[in-house]
A and B are shown apart, each in its own frame.
Chain A
Amino acid sequence: MTYIAKPAVRHPGLGANDLGLHMRDYEGTISTLCAGCGHDSVTAAIIQAFYELSIPPHRIAKMSGIGCSAKTPAYFVNEAHGFNGVHGRMPALATGANAANKDLYYIGISGDGDSLSIGLGQFCHAIRRNVNMLYVLENNGVYGLTKGQFSASADVGSRSKRGVPNKSEPIDPVALALTLGATFVARGFSGDKQQLLPLLKAGLMHKGFAFLDVISPCVTFNDHVGSTKSYLYTRHHGHELVPVDFVPIRSEISASYEKGSRTSITMHDGSMVRFRKVPEDYDPTDRLSAYEHYRSLQNRGEVVTGLLYLDPGGEDMHDDNATTATPLAEMAYEDLCPGSEQMDALMEEFR
């Protein structure tokens, strides 16, 4: 039933990927976000990630809730199905869609309001359920679309544009994802595409719930001095814990990486994540070690980035459910209906 674009002859010189598609084939409609919005940079990185991974556009499902961030799926991969649902409820839609068709690439785009306030419950439960998807939280510390109110990720002391400091403790999505059992936890910065790209690619290829928090400044409401989610602040306080490379399956390992201690982790499909310069007392495949490391750096006031935790186990909610190989949405009705004989037999049991 599925249409797969024919892989065309590869012309590296022309910039076509394995499917013969170009970067522009992964673009969306023109963004209507404010010029300089961090979210647009994330969109650009997502386009490149899909392109470089040679994922057939129509096999991608773009899920989102409501917010400036949630609008962005319209701005990448036109030939993918998109679902811009209701505020804070993207995880449920993604769960249902994935339940019906587990063979698509699911990417969910959310905001800090969408995920940490109205949708906090759904965010947590999607992690617990281990939905196979890449969940990108474009984190700017404010509700952009409703004009700059503090969100639950705003740090204590961070000042609004009018100078009012935030007094409530933030909800840290990375710490949350680590504790709730996300099988892939990472943080990037919209201003650092070089770091963001391998994180996106690894997250897309990861089987299970991949969480990627991206500090993505809101230039209109939260990029001033005194904000802890501004470009300037993030550049100054950013701490890349472990630089990583993503090595897709079958590609020659030609990427140049620095010498030093290095850990390679093979993903479920054979692709690989390479951690460079891993600190000695830190094991990115050990949840506790990742959590402790993350907390200690954070306590020093650093915005910790990188791939913080990875469980390469490669299981998701369908493995727990023992779902059939054929996606449920593609099952033939004849294979689902028990038929009249079973009905007649069953009726005897209700007498």
Chain B
Amino acid sequence: MSDPRLEQADRTNDFAFKIGTVNGTGSASANGLIMQAIFRMGIPCTGKNVFPSNIQGLPTWYEIRVSHEGYSARTPEFDLIVAMNPATYERDIAEVRPGGYLLHDSSWPMAKEFLRDDITFLGVPLGEMCVREFKGARVRILMKNIAYAGALAALLSMDLDVIRGMIQEKFAAKPKLIGSNYKAIELGYDYAMEHFDCPLPIRLQTMDATSDHVLMDGNTSAALGCVYAGATVGAWYPITPSTSLMDAFKRFCERFRKDPETGERSFFIAQAEDELAAAGVVIGAGWAGARAFTPTSGPGISLMSEFIGLAYYAEIPAVFVDVQRVGPSTGMPTRTQQGDLAAVAYASHGDTKHIALFPANPEESFHMAVEAFDLAERFQSPVFLVQDLDIGMNDWMIPRLNWDDGFVPDRGKVLGAAELEKIEKFYRYMDVDGDGIPYRSLPGVHPKGAYFTRGSGHTSRGTYTEDADEYTEVMDRLRTKIDSAASEVPAPAVQMREGATMSLVTIGSCDGAVREAADMLERQGLPVNFLRVRGFPFDTLVPEFLDAHELNFVVEQNRDAQLRRLLVTETEVEPARLHSVLDYGGFPMSAAFVAGEVNEHLGRAPEETKVRPAAERPEGAVA
């Protein structure tokens, strides 16, 4: 009674599976091994970690999507589930799609009530085999993970040489472990070969689509961006899902910013007492002329708000990386969301507005991190790099990062000693060039550069004021200044299709799901255009695009349609043209969800939405 769809279609390099384990049992390295092996076979793949806010003992899953077409969005349809956690058997079994497979440890019998007759159960006595082969409880648990990787290798037709190579690399420093890992792989592999019809219809076949790519998460790439941007001061207070960003920054700095002879370090990391202090350290450092940043998440942004307003009003460069998680309040720390868009855009009391960059993947996280520092110094203002848990903590396949050695950072309008020497008198907040951006001076450089920085009312000369006109003059200039950043932030990503009258508009990590949904819709006879916002304030291209479509579906991951709200507030577009598609339960979005919502809103019958064979698909015009 298997699903005919599964049998008919060629599922080589086009399927999804997930592995359910217990956190804290070392399964992460086995899962990483599987993912990396697929990647090294040249096959596009993405891995998503679904983990609990807990250190040990709770269920955790690792989802891998293999797509020869290069689709990277999460797909909630699993062809195979490796159920290693008896506590989640019921749920895991229910989630396998009809015609799919369930791989489980058959050392113990499986409760009858869980069994389904529309999926295939693949029992491997992993526990039993590992007890027989290995000594010690901890080793047995670890090797069981490697053994299921071995079974998967047989079932999915993974290249064993690739796996062996990786084990060798991984344990180069501890060669003793190589043997036991090989053994564990073989246990699983041999058992599966002997007992099942290997490989399954869902299977891998070597390709050559990943040699120009790397597997990287967005916290690592953003941290690398901070290093390459020349950031020297980092301040933080640990918070999931941003913690690994500072961990990576520290690692890179220990490697690239430490004098091998003297041990002197050209960076300073302050683990602050809270996010208020972290923000203060960054602003203090920016004021004194260093490139400084803080990684955080929603709760941290809330705490930093007062300081963000100070940096905005006193015009001090500072970079904030917000790795969003599910809010409000503590919310769900290990789930993803785009719930901070509105908070970041206008963070702090009074009239404020901030420059924000929205990467869609770790590649953009790197480049936008570098750009964030340039913008912060050019506009002398806080800049937010807004990513989320999905980008920050999951492994993405991205093109190898390149660095242009000709890059020159934009330090903005900073007067040096020689320039200060020449001028008659320095006024900190004077609009000398008529572009809304004043000149600044750094402490310690020259007596003429001295001024009094304050978050209280000040004049364009930098002096204290409570005068309406003097206050207003500075506030109006600030508006001009920040609005002018619209053309300097990254332009939106746009994809046009022949015959499209509607569009899908999105932001950040929804990119993959929305682009894939556009492909799906086109196959279903509905070509739609695509726009992804990449910066705030919005580039004029954004309202132009929206106005050019009778209907724009605004796809985002929060309950209150925050992107749509920003679009309505910040542009003249008719609100009726913006229809929200929202998914905010904490999982990365799927293309099927987006296409389904669009079809439902348009009242398209299921018949019309059937996928047409490839031969009938119109060629999409891609711009």
A residues contacting B by CB (< 8 A) are 1-3, 5, 56-59, 61, 63, 73-74, 78-86, 89, 91-101, 103-104, 121-122, 124-125, 129, 318, 321-326, 328-331, 333, 335-340, 342-344, 346-347, 350-351
Contact = CB atoms under 8 A, between A and B. Distances in A.
A58 B287 contact: no
Contacts of B456: 84
A319 to B, nearest CB: 11
Contacts of A122: 273, 276-277, 280
Contacts of A335: 266
B265 A83 contact: no
B429 to A, nearest CB: 14
Nearest to B221: A350
B288 to A, nearest CB: 4
Given A58-B444, A100-B289, A329-B289, A78 B280 contact: no
B417 A329 contact: no
A121 B273 contact: yes
A247 B51 CA distance: 62
A322 to B, nearest CB: 5
Interface in B308-335: 310
B421 interface: yes
Given A92-B276, A96-B286, A99-B268, A82 B417 contact: no
24 contacts: A57-B450, A79-B447, A80-B443, A81-B452, A82-B452, A86-B280, A86-B306, A89-B280, A92-B281, A92-B284, A99-B268, A99-B290, A101-B444, A124-B273, A322-B265, A326-B266, A328-B266, A329-B442, A337-B228, A337-B230, A340-B405, A344-B400, A350-B215, A351-B40
Given A323-B264, A328-B267, A351-B39, A85 B407 contact: no
B151 interface: no
B266 A96 contact: no
A56 B292 CA distance: 27
B141 to A, nearest CB: 28
B42 to A, nearest CB: 11
A228 B39 CA distance: 73
A333 B377 CA distance: 14
Nearest to A350: B214
Which 5 interchain pairs have the tightest Cβ spacing? Answer: A92-B280, A96-B284, A329-B289, A100-B290, A81-B443
B99 interface: no
A347 B444 contact: no
Of A84, A91, A94, chain B has the most CB atoms within 10 Å of the CB of A84
B283 interface: yes
B447 A3 contact: yes
B287 A96 contact: yes
A101 B293 CA distance: 16
Interface string B382-421: 0000000000000000001111110111000000110011
Nearest to A122: B277
A95 B270 contact: yes
B257 interface: yes
Nearest to B421: A3
Given A92-B272, A96-B287, 18 more contacts: A79-B450, A81-B443, A82-B454, A83-B287, A84-B452, A84-B456, A94-B284, A96-B282, A99-B285, A100-B232, A100-B284, A100-B285, A125-B273, A323-B266, A328-B267, A328-B268, A328-B290, A336-B232
Nearest to B268: A99
B268 A89 contact: no
Contact of A324 (B266, B290, B447): B266
Of B39, B215, B400, B407, chain A has the most CB atoms within 10 Å of the CB of B400
A86 B310 contact: yes
B452 A2 contact: no
B455 interface: yes
A89 B214 CA distance: 42
A58 B290 CA distance: 18
Contact of B403 (A56, A78, A82, A339): A339
Q: How large is the interface on B (under 10, 10 to 19, 20 to 34, 35 or more residues)?
A: 35 or more
B233 interface: yes
B307 interface: yes
Given A89-B277, A323-B265, A96 B39 contact: no
B545 interface: no
B284 A93 contact: yes
Given A96-B233, A333-B230, A351-B39, A1 B417 contact: yes
A89 B304 CA distance: 11
A343 B227 CA distance: 11
A318 B267 CA distance: 10
B474 to A, nearest CB: 16
B451 A81 contact: yes
Of A56, A59, A85, chain B has the most CB atoms within 10 Å of the CB of A85
B263 interface: yes
A317 B119 CA distance: 62
A322 B263 contact: yes
B71 interface: no
B535 interface: no
B191 interface: no
B447 A58 contact: yes
Contacts of B280: 85-86, 89, 91-93, 95-96, 122
B67 interface: no
A337 B226 CA distance: 10
Contacts of A322: 263-265
A104 B443 contact: yes
B417 A97 contact: no
B449 interface: yes
Of A321, A324, A339, chain B has the most CB atoms within 10 Å of the CB of A324
A100 B276 CA distance: 18
Contacts of B185: none
A342 B253 CA distance: 13
A73 B267 CA distance: 29
Contacts of B263: 322
Nearest to B417: A3
B208 interface: no
Contact of B288 (A57, A73, A97, A321): A97
Nearest to B277: A92
Contacts of B215: 350-351
B445 interface: yes
Contacts of B441: 81
B464 interface: yes
B108 interface: no
B452 A74 contact: yes
B572 interface: no
Given A92-B280, A323-B264, A101 B443 contact: yes
A329 B446 contact: no
Contacts of A342: 256
B369 to A, nearest CB: 13
B453 interface: yes
Interface string B228-243: 1010110100000000
Contacts of A61: 288, 443-444
B216 interface: yes
A84 B409 contact: no
Contacts of B544: none
Given A1-B416, A99-B284, A100-B292, A78 B450 contact: yes
B498 interface: no
Contacts of A323: 264-266, 268
Contacts of A91: 277, 280
B290 A329 contact: yes
A129 B290 CA distance: 19
Nearest to A104: B444
A343 B402 contact: yes
B288 A351 contact: no
Given A3-B417, A323-B264, A325-B264, A331 B232 contact: yes
B444 A95 contact: no
Contacts of A1: 416-417, 445
A129 B284 CA distance: 15
